[in-house]
């Protein structure tokens, strides 16, 4: 595989392949862009079919974090890690400590947190080896699990998208199909149920489905049925690429708004759903609650401040919809424009040479 060509295409800065024989760690840290600040993005643990697939996921997710952080107004760049392995059976203390040492070796260029397959407990172990980790236990004065906060942001963003599609942001009586009822979606379903929405859910994990049926009176459907159910809103909250050639023709929803990263398989799928009149809340704008929350931890965590910032996801989705209407472009392009313009402005303002404290010239007493 022509890795450098791939890096050049989307302008990635760095890829770090991490191997530790003793613990079995195989991880890929991808750093996409650090114009706005150090790369901040979670660690996913997943049993990939191939190493190529793992790399592709790390790259896509890292780029997504660049855009997510930029669009959310955070002063962080984008990066992400994937650990290759089954989170239900391959985890160990020594594996996460080994990974923590690799994170530390980047000296702050990359800061990690939770993603699919990793937990607060895993972050606490990583923290034994590095300070460049967030989403650790509240006992350390930190923010803990970002998922409930992500859910709150998705709920707010969904309301903003609903306002555009239905003329009201009230979700009472709306039917919402939720794909994947894991960490984020469980909390999302709670908000939706409280507001009086009807829920249809699916998950590959039977116990998660049963929990949603029990707690929120949700109707359960098979995993491949979720795309075609009669509903007002489709909420993808599992993995990526679910808006694709196979699924698009099945959609009945007027809104797509969920927590999953990289929901569009290819950008052309964003064009197609736009032409179909579906209001798509761009994934990295609507699911920024978690990263906003862990970013707050880096300045001394204040939950009230973090939640206030997360509420602004409502306005951010509105802003993206306004740009989309003004410029006659799909919402995913409007979101990209928002993020890219901010990064470009900062990039262009960083042109002059600065002598930093530890710069090599200091050695010559200049
Ligand atoms: N956790 C966060 O704070 C956060 C923040 C931003 C974005 N996200 C994204 O949101 C999504 C969900 O994250 P999470 O933390 O809730 O993860 P999670 O692992 O707790 O939940 C994902 C759920 O999806 C299910 N699932 C996987 N494949 C499926 C399929 N084909 N059909 C149906 N269900 C399937 C899993 O069994 C699991 O229950 C991910 O894409 C993640 O990257 C999470
Ligand atoms: C920093 C983390 C909270 C990142 C989160 N997993 C996301 O995709 O946004």
Q: Does residue 197 sit in the same domain as residue 304?
A: yes
Q: Does residue 47 sit in the same domain as residue 171?
A: no
Has residue 308 been placed in a domain? yes
Q: Does residue 98 sit in the same domain as residue 152?
A: no
- Statement: residue 364 has pLDDT above 60: no
Report the mean per-residue pLDDT for the chain: 95
Has residue 356 been placed in a domain? no
Has residue 198 been placed in a domain? yes
Q: Does residue 90 sit in the same domain as residue 182?
A: no
Q: Say how many Å lie between the CA of residue 358 and the centre of ligand 2.
A: 31
Has residue 240 been placed in a domain? yes
Tell me what the mean pLDDT of segment 86-105 comes to. Answer: 98
Total of domains in the chain: 2
Confirm whether residue 180 is marked as ligand binding.
Answer: yes
Q: Does residue 127 sit in the same domain as residue 275?
A: no
Pocket test for ligand 1, best of 46, 86, 91, 115 (most atoms within 8 A of CB): 115
Q: Does residue 244 sit in the same domain as residue 103?
A: no
Confirm whether residue 149 is marked as ligand binding.
Answer: no
Q: Does residue 218 sit in the same domain as residue 309?
A: yes
Structure pTM? 0.95
Has residue 45 been placed in a domain? yes
Q: Say how many Å lie between the CA of residue 357 and the centre of ligand 1.
A: 42
- Statement: residue 363 has pLDDT above 70: no
Tell which residue, 234, 215, 239, has the closest CA to residue 117: 239
Beta strands in 35-169 (DSSP E): 39-40, 43-46, 78-84, 110-111
- Statement: residue 365 has pLDDT above 90: no
For residue 203, give Cα distances in angstroms to 117, 152, 238, 240: 15, 20, 8, 14
Q: Does residue 200 sit in the same domain as residue 228?
A: yes
Residues catalogued as catalytic: 80
**Whole domain around residue 325: which residue ranges?**
147-338
Pocket test for ligand 2, best of 122, 126, 145, 150 (most atoms within 8 A of CB): 150
Q: Does residue 250 sit in the same domain as residue 317?
A: yes
Q: Say how many Å lie between the CA of residue 114 and the centre of ligand 2.
A: 6
Has residue 364 been placed in a domain? no
- Statement: residue 45 has pLDDT above 60: yes
- The neighbour count for residue 205, using CB atoms within 10 Å, is 11
- Statement: residue 343 has pLDDT above 70: yes
Tell me what the mean pLDDT of segment 103-126 comes to. Answer: 97
Query: Cα–Cα distance between 187 and 199 in angstroms, integer?
Result: 13
Q: Does residue 101 sit in the same domain as residue 153?
A: no
Pocket of ligand 1 (CB under 6 A): 114-116, 146-147, 150, 179-185, 202-205, 208, 223, 237-239, 259-261, 287, 290
Query: Cα–Cα distance between 358 and 319 in angstroms, integer?
Result: 41
CATH (domain of 234): 3.40.50.720
Tell me what the mean pLDDT of segment 121-127 comes to. Answer: 98
Q: Does residue 161 sit in the same domain as residue 129?
A: no
Query: Cα–Cα distance between 191 and 196 in angstroms, integer?
Result: 9
Q: Say how many Å lie between the CA of residue 337 and the centre of ligand 2.
A: 21
Give me the pLDDT at residue 361, please.
61
Give me the pLDDT at residue 366, please.
46
Confirm whether residue 181 is marked as ligand binding.
Answer: yes
For residue 117, give Cα distances in angstroms to 35, 42, 123, 168, 258: 28, 10, 12, 36, 18
Has residue 361 been placed in a domain? no
Q: Does residue 35 sit in the same domain as residue 163?
A: no
Confirm whether residue 184 is marked as ligand binding.
Answer: yes
Has residue 346 been placed in a domain? no
- Statement: residue 103 has pLDDT above 60: yes
**pLDDT tens for each residue of 133-186:** 999 999 988 999 999 999 999 999 999 999 999 999 999 999 999 999 999 999
User: Residue 168 corresponds to which tokens in the numbers above?
Assistant: 């009201």
**pLDDT tens for each residue of 218-260:** 999 999 999 999 999 999 999 899 999 999 999 999 999 999 9
Pocket of ligand 2 (CB under 6 A): 40-42, 68, 113-115, 135, 146, 261, 287, 290-291, 294
CATH (domain of 42): 3.40.50.10860
């Amino acid at each position: 595989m022509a890795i450098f060509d791939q890096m050049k295409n989307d302008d990635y800065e760095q890829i770090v392949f991490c191997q530790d024989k003793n613990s079995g760690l195989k991880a890929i840290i991808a750093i996409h862009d650090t114009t706005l600040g150090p790369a901040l993005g979670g660690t996913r643990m997943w049993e990939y079919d191939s190493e190529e697939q793992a790399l592709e996921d790390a790259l896509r997710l890292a780029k997504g974090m660049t855009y997510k952080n930029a669009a959310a107004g955070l002063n962080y760049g984008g990066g992400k890690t994937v650990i290759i392995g089954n989170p239900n059976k391959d985890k160990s203390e020594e594996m996460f400590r080994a990974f923590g040492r690799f994170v530390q070796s980047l000296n702050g260029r990359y800061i990690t947190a939770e993603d699919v397959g990793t937990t607060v407990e895993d972050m606490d172990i990583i923290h034994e080896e590095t300070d460049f980790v967030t989403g650790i236990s509240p006992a350390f004065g930190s923010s803990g699990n970002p998922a409930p906060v992500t859910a709150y942001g998705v709920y707010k963003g969904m309301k903003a998208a609903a306002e555009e599609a239905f003329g009201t942001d009230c979700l009472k009586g709306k039917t919402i199909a939720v794909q994947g009822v894991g960490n984020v979606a469980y909390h999302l379903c709670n908000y939706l149920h409280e507001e009086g929405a009807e829920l249809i859910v699916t998950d590959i994990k039977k116990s998660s489905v049963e929990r949603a049926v029990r707690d929120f009176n949700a109707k359960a459907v098979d995993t491949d049925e979720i795309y075609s159910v009669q509903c007002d809103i489709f909420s993808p909250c599992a993995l990526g690429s679910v808006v694709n050639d196979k699924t698009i023709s099945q959609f009945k929803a007027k809104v797509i708004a969920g927590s999953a990263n990289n929901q569009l398989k290819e950008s052309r799928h964003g064009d197609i759903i736009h032409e179909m009149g579906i209001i798509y809340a761009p994934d990295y704008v609507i699911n920024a609650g978690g990263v906003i929350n862990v970013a707050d931890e880096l300045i001394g965590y204040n939950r009230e401040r973090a939640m206030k910032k997360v509420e602004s996801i409502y306005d951010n989705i509105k802003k993206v919809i306004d740009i989309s209407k003004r410029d006659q472009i799909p919402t995913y392009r409007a979101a990209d424009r928002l993020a890219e313009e901010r990064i470009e402005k900062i990039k262009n303002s960083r042109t002059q040479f600065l002598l930093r404290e530890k710069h090599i010239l200091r050695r010559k007493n200049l």
